[in-house]
Amino acid sequence: MASLGVLAGAQTVAPDVEPGRIDAERARISAERSRLEAGFLAEDAACYQKFAVNSCLGKINVRRREAMADLRRQEILLNDEERKMKGAEQIRKTEEKSSLEKQQEAADRRAKALEDYQSRLDREKKKQEDRAAAQSSEKANSEASAEKLKGHQEKVQARTGKQAAAAEEAKKYNDRQKEAQEHRAQHESDQLKRTKPPAKSLPLPE
């Protein structure tokens, strides 16, 4: 009858068995099965000392089946619990992996967005630098052209000035030559007047 007391104490298994205790519970059930079987075998041997052997053995077999069925039920509960735990662990790992992948994807997107933004800034900066360089070059070219034009104008003015001065000199020279010629002609005229032979005397009356 002591077997029944042990059976009553082994009727239930807590539904929230911890992961580390499943193997221990399974070992306990196996040990309980061995202990109960040993007790039933001893009771079987005692039955053979009685007159109604079959009736005694029948009653023991009923209790044996009930005890073993309960232990089997406990094993099934443990197996179900283990499967649930493994399934939950697999789901957790899958979700964790998915979460890590999503986090990595989000980090990659942020890095890509930052890279694109920096690239746009670099392109805009390059455009501004090129524009500034072009404007500077255009200004330098314009200044060089203006300086070249100024130099050309100064050369033209200088040449024109030289030509005007040369023309003025030529005019002065021509004027001096003309004046000299006139002076010489006047001098020669005066000379001729002074050296003119005396007029012939009138003839004497006859």
Contacts of 3 (CB under 8 A, 6+ apart): 36, 39, 40, 43, 63, 67
Burial class (CB in 10 A: 0-12, 13-18, 19+), 67: buried
| pLDDT 10s digits, 64-94 | 999 899 999 999 999 999 999 899 999 989 9
* Res 12 pLDDT > 50: no
50: left (phi over 0), alpha (psi -120 to 50) or beta: beta
Of 168 and 12, the one with more pLDDT: 168
* Res 142 pLDDT > 90: no
The mean predicted confidence, pLDDT, of the chain is: 81
Among 9-18, 22-31, 132-141, which range has the highest average pLDDT? Answer: 22-31
* Res 96 pLDDT > 80: yes
* Res 48 pLDDT > 90: no
